[in-house]
Structure 1
Amino acid sequence: NELALNPPGPFHHFHAPIVPLLLWAAAAGLGQGASSRSTTGSTSMPEPASVKWLPSASPLLAFSLTFGIWTCVVFSQNPLSLKFWDSGKPEYWGKRYVPDERPQQFAKIASLIPPTARVASTDFVHPRYTHFERSYDYSQYPRVVNGNRPGAPDDTDYIVIDTRHPYSWIHGPEDVRELRTEPDRWELLPDETNGYFIVLKRKTNVVEQK
């Protein structure tokens, strides 16, 4: 998701498996380009492959190395890149790798939901609940598990919403779909996180009626 927000990079993180193939293709291409330009020498004593193609491939190697360094400095997010040290960029090390207030606020609700619960949660807090009884993605995308509709499936016990993650469309209880369309089915738990997280619990009497 982070890569998708930084064009012209990969459109989605699912494209990551293609990266090794690109590296292999580049290496093979350098070898092919060098061999086509190399001259035939004496055959009395075979030379190592590197000796044969490295000199003739020097322009290709120089181009590849220059392009690789330029990409690393301008586009990547590692300590060798400009973005890593630019405090005005989202990739700045102080924003990306130093914990902010969000994990501190989440700690206040970490023990609120039992591991036996079925939880629907938004993207950035979702990994916290993948080991629970069931963990659902709470987003604007239709899901088969929810009858090809967005939102929480019918057997969901809790909904946890991170209001401060980079592309959250929910910033307060007034934005929560379930509180607008099904207020009789969901209870908004008291806010203990200064608005960083919204926690909804399905009303017990509604579950029993089902």
Structure 2
Amino acid sequence: LCWAAACATGNIPKLLERRASRFKISSASGQNFAIHFLWSSSLATAIFFSLSPLGLVFWDSGSTWYWKQLYVPGERATQFPKVLAQIPPESRVASTDFVHPRFTHFDRSYDYSNYLRKVNEYQAGVPADTDYIVIDTQHPYSEIKTPDQIPEYHDHPEHWELLPDQTNGYFIILKRKPESAPLPKQPPVRP
């Protein structure tokens, strides 16, 4: 839609030429108006709607798009290395969105969300071979704030161990208890 509008703006001078007789203006002044209207509209859009340094929201400290909130690591990012230090790279980890990319180089990395996935036979919960569950409690869309809200821990506390919180409540880490682990792991299939 934006590109269609951008292409259509090239037709404004032609439209003004056709309508000039009705408005009793010269075609030159119509073109002049179109030129100034376009650059001033572009500038207003850049100031009021842009997320770049040209936009007001980039400099507004009350905005969610404020430059410090976007580019300066917060407490959540500072706490995450403590989580990473507790999980061995050969683990299979289910994690929420914010931290999920950090586990993609582990043995397996599963997305922990409400979406049903083939990897778990389209059933709720984590796959049976999951070793750890990592929940980011501070993410804007996180519905889980305490360990008892995690279905796996709430419904089967005998299968999961809650690791001590070293992150001031920013993350929850569950570790599968050894006695509840599934059959021996098969090596991952890699090309």
Q: Shorter-chain TM-score category?
A: 0.7 to 0.9
| Cα distance between partner residues in 2 of 1:131 and 1:69 | 44
Change (3 A) 1:179 1:80: same
The aligned counterpart of 2:118 is 144
| Cα distance between partner residues in 1 of 2:12 and 2:74 | 50
Within 5 A, what are the aligned runs for 1:17-166?
22-23=2-3, 25-32=4-11, 34=13, 59-166=33-140
What percent identity do the matched residue pairs reach?
Answer: 51
The reply on whether 1:172 has 2:146 as its aligned counterpart is yes
Runs of 5+ consecutive residues of structure 1 not aligned to the other structure: 1-20, 40-54
| Cα distance between partner residues in 2 of 1:32 and 1:155 | 61
Amino acid at match of 1:72: A
Deviations 1:57-101 (CA, angstroms, capped at 9, x unpaired)? 554444443333223222222111111111111111122211111
1:33 Cα deviation after fit: 5.0
Amino acid at match of 1:29: A
The reply on whether 1:203 has 2:177 as its aligned counterpart is yes
Change (3 A) 1:134 1:61: farther
Runs of 5+ consecutive residues of structure 2 not aligned to the other structure: 19-28, 185-191
Aligned-residue RMSD, C-alpha: 2.6
| Cα distance between partner residues in 1 of 2:109 and 2:35 | 48
Give the number of the structure with larger relative contact order, counting CA–CA contacts within 8 Å between residues 6 or more apart.
Answer: 2
SS in 2 for 1:156: coil
TM-score (norm 2): 0.77
Question: How many residues are aligned here?
Answer: 175
1:188 Cα deviation after fit: 0.9
SS in 2 for 1:109: helix
TM-score (norm 1): 0.71
SS in 2 for 1:198: strand
